[in-house]
Chain A
Amino acid sequence: MRDDAFDMLRRMTRARVALGRSGDGLPTQAKLEFQMAHALARDAVWGKVNFDGIAEALAPREVIKVASAAPDRASYLRRPDLGRRLAACEASTLPSGPFDLVFIIADGLSADAVENHAADVVIATEARLAGLTIGPVVLASQARVALGDDVGTAMRACLVAVLVGERPGLSAADSLGVYLTLHPAPGLRDSARNCISNIHGHGLSADRAADKLAWLVREALRIGVTGIGLKEAAPNAAIETTTPTPQIIHHNTTGAHRHE
């Protein structure tokens, strides 16, 4: 064989194969590269989104900052229910619409995802949706996807698009997801949403994500449904419902999702 057999393995997959051995352990470089990937993911989870920077990027669009009922990051991680509700009195700060569409940028589980991609996706999507009444962009901290239901209700939004930081993996710590919901209302099931996931540098670009999202928005307004019903109407089955990543445990649609 001309090639080292291990080179062949490395070419076959993105997985961490043929890392080499120091006795029974990893060589130092492989050990530290793994630690760095995990460190980036941890920093993304615990990072605080610079919402002022995002507001600047979105200018001159109006933005409104809100907080969920989770007082801090540790509570947010322990109590998903708190991240799905607005903090007391927050609803009264929101304009009461009505709007065709409201964008909500939620920190979710990756500050990096939101800082790197969220404003780009909002701007690119808006450019594809001339003629719609779009509300101020809501910037939500310690927030999960279902917070959009509270916000959408208060703003009388026909549709909410929640842009949320996905749970970081070792290969991408800044992956953004978008969840679109028609007629948002508290207690809505996740199966009533459509999801576009994996928006990051090596995944879906902001422009491609905006293409998909704009199509979903117009189609949802036309046929009056999001979730499974809209997924089935999508061309090439390109649009997912709210289970973007396969799971070890095959949860039903109300189970734990990647963004949570």
Chain B
Amino acid sequence: MTGGFRSRHRGETHVFDDLKTLLACASPRRSGDELAGVAADSAARRVAARMALAEVPLRRFLDEPLIPYESDEVTRLILDSHNAAAFAPVAALTVGELREWLMSWEADAERLAALAPGLTPEMVAAVSKLCGNGDLIAIAAKCKVVTRFRSTIGLPGRLSSRLQPNDPTDDPMAIAAGTLDGLLFGMGDAVIGINPATDNVEACIRLLTMLDELRLKFEVPTQSCVLSHVTTSIQAIEQGAPLDLVFQSIAGTEAANAGFGVTLALLAEAQEAALSLKRGTIGSNVMYFETGQGAALSADAHHGLDQQTVEARAYAVARAFSPLLVNTVVGFIGPEYLYDAKEIIRAGLEDHFCAKLLGVPMGCDVCYTNHAEADQDDMDDLALLLAAANVNFLIAVPGADDIMLNYQSLSHHDVMRLRHLLGRRPAPEFEAWLARMGLLDDSGRVPPLPGHAPAVARLIGQGARA
């Protein structure tokens, strides 16, 4: 059942040759789709595409893969792992009807979790294109995806954070300083994760060892990660490094993943290796993935798909490996993919929505580069919207300024303020630790403490000698 799609409005007929053209034209305007030459060429055509998309039966996404089954292992993963029983409740619906069902009060956390294995990335990408930003927030907020290693992430009423104390020279003292600064704000309950300046096994092991010593010294119930290539992590495990989580950047096509130097088999091997260490105390989610719209196009591996649809396919890759954490690095890629704050904010909400509907424990690096039309005020906005959408975790950097990767994210202040503003708490194990360390007040908030306060002096004094 191939063939085009038509949409008629006030006498004008818009024709869309195939499903991927329809999806691309239905996407909100963004620079990456224009760069790829797949975007709608007028505002009316964009909405006409949405009208046609609303009529498409969900089944069609199972019958008509956007990238051929034979030539792409991500397509094979998506179709082979599709759960028909989970899909049954919505099997007769169109994309437009699915949006209405997702919005309905009937679609609660339990039903959405049961549906997740029955949805494909293409279905959730399609429905996201019919949703306004408010819809994306309201629907995602109903999804609950909980994961565990040493802390529990994704529980209702909680907002976790990745502490990201990067340093351009991987200097252990500088990284310790950034880590201690974050711990004083209650950051790091999702992970303490470093992007290494040098991706080699020795550097990776050195940083893993240093982070593990710091964690053990203060008995912090969290996990650490050095965001090296997956092959580096496998080697580090073989050499006996104290590795909690395996990290990898992933994308939504086999070719884009090849650009990252990974295959599904390699990811499975890495997961196996990390599981063999049995380092998780309360759970065994051992993988950490990062994604982001534009990654496939930048590797010329997008197969003519719009960047949001191909991004959603990366979440099918992620969920196959039961990750502890996944986040989109939404504004990092630059203005040729997401030009300004409007595009970055929309993409952040789409990525979170699609991942959560697919059952992926989604967080976000709310961020921008200096050549994008965005500033810290826009990050304040996106962080608040994502927190309202019950995002699992946000990334926090000292002073919002990553001095290694040269871009801006959220600061420790920003994430702490969101917790206080919205009444969200850290992961329960981590919250109890903060209380033991004297870093929480009676109301569960992190109070401003002077540098000579015993809790501060103890943490910094002992931590700096680690």
Binding site for B on A (CB under 8 A): 1, 4-10, 12-19, 21, 23-26, 30, 34-35, 37-38, 41-42, 44-45, 77-81, 109, 167-171, 173, 245-252, 254-256, 258, 260
Contact = CB atoms under 8 A, between A and B. Distances in A.
Given A5-B451, A19-B411, A173-B370, 15 more contacts: A13-B175, A15-B167, A15-B177, A17-B180, A19-B398, A23-B448, A78-B31, A170-B403, A170-B406, A245-B406, A246-B197, A248-B249, A248-B365, A251-B259, A254-B299
B371 A109 contact: yes
A254 B299 CA distance: 7
The size bracket of the interface on B is: 35 or more
A184 to B, nearest CB: 21
3 shortest interchain CB distances as A-B pairs: A16-B399, A169-B406, A12-B177
A38 B246 CA distance: 33
Contact of B452 (A5, A34, A45, A173): A5
Contacts of B154: none
A252 B260 contact: yes
B405 A5 contact: no
B197 A250 contact: no
Interface stretch (B271-279, B318-326, B456-464): B456-464
A34 B35 contact: no
Contacts of A1: 452, 457, 461
Contacts of B176: 12
A31 to B, nearest CB: 9
A167 B406 contact: yes
A109 B417 CA distance: 34
Contacts of B174: 12-15
Contacts of A245: 405-406
A248 B195 CA distance: 7
Interface of B: 31, 34-35, 165, 167, 171, 173-178, 180-181, 195-199, 227, 229, 249, 259-261, 290, 292, 295, 298-300, 329, 332-336, 339, 365, 369-371, 375-376, 397-401, 403-408, 411, 413, 416-417, 420-421, 448, 450-452, 456-457, 459-461, 464
A78 B35 contact: yes
A9 B376 CA distance: 24
A254 B300 contact: yes
Given A12-B173, A251-B299, A6 B399 contact: no
Nearest to B452: A4
B333 A13 contact: no
With most chain A CB atoms within 10 A of its CB, the pick from B175, B261, B408 is B408
B396 to A, nearest CB: 12
B260 A17 contact: no
Given A38-B370, A77-B339, A9 B180 contact: yes
B59 to A, nearest CB: 34
A19 B456 CA distance: 14
Nearest to A22: B448
A168 B371 CA distance: 8
28 contacts: A1-B452, A1-B457, A4-B451, A5-B451, A5-B459, A8-B461, A8-B464, A9-B460, A13-B178, A15-B401, A16-B399, A17-B177, A30-B399, A38-B370, A77-B371, A78-B35, A80-B336, A170-B403, A171-B406, A245-B405, A246-B405, A248-B332, A249-B249, A250-B229, A251-B260, A252-B299, A254-B259, A255-B259
Nearest to A249: B249
A15 B336 contact: no
A113 to B, nearest CB: 12
A169 B403 contact: yes
B383 to A, nearest CB: 13
